[in-house]
Structure 1
Amino acid sequence: MAPAALRRAARRERGDHRSVPRRHHRRPLGKLKALAAALYTSPPTAEELAFWGLTPDDYGHEEVWVWPENADAFFLFRDLATQWRVARGGPTGLDHNVLLLRLDRMRLPDDDRDQLDADVRVMELAALEQMNEEREKRERTARGS
């Protein structure tokens, strides 16, 4: 990230959102989904790596970059990491009461607020898909299949 972008990100971390750009166009959502999935992806186990003749030292961790236009959504989503609603089968979604409260406290213009809300919801669905895949993987491993 460029130094100016880092300064803006640091200000946003502190709650200063004067530099948040207005979004007048929709952008591809793949970057948001990749960020959310990366937060909830487990690295392969030693057994999985051994199947391919690898060791944990051979495994290169995949890097997912936070693009400047996604920084606000990423920081908000990351801050909501403790706000998952959980049922017997696992997480069911974020507590949207907390999400809306956080968005209100940011005092963003309506368009930016709506876009940030939509971005977090996209990330939420991608994270839920990833968490479900991880759970199913653990269940298959436990059953030995």
Structure 2
Amino acid sequence: MQRRHFSLAALAALALPALAHAQKSRPLIAVYKDANCGCCSQWVAHLQAAGFDVASHDVDDTGAYRRRFGMPERLASCHSAQVAGYAIEGHVPAADILRLLKDKPRAIGLAVAGMPAGSPGMEDPRNPKARAAYEVLLVAGDGSTSTYRRYEAISG
């Protein structure tokens, strides 16, 4: 019986690091959105498809979260999020959030101001490949921005 308990304990000890790694490989992002906004829900689905664990919160005022996270109001969109201490505002592609988490720049976070057509969550089901040109902005601690990535327009 003792050998069996030892074997189980040894297996558990070997599994714990693997479980910890699996949990770390799926970043948790908290999203604050309007319950009635379809594009916000589509952005959440985009994040989940890219491997994020999403804690989605329906709120009355996303601006309160934007202010709490330090995101300038001029970059406002329809949803705000936070991941690993970074603010994410608007329809930021998951690939850019993953790059942010890898690079770890000193910044407030990323923003896609407004709601550009073809950005994640803003796709046109009649023409899903079409996209307006837009920029993902890196927001510095003082609120200034620089281009983190530029997406060119695609006519579809």
What's the TM-score, normalizing by structure 1?
A: 0.22
- Greater helix content: 1
- Comparing both chains, which one has the higher relative contact order based on Cα–Cα distances under 8 Å and sequence gaps of 6 or more? 1
Larger radius of gyration: 2
What's the TM-score, normalizing by structure 2?
A: 0.21
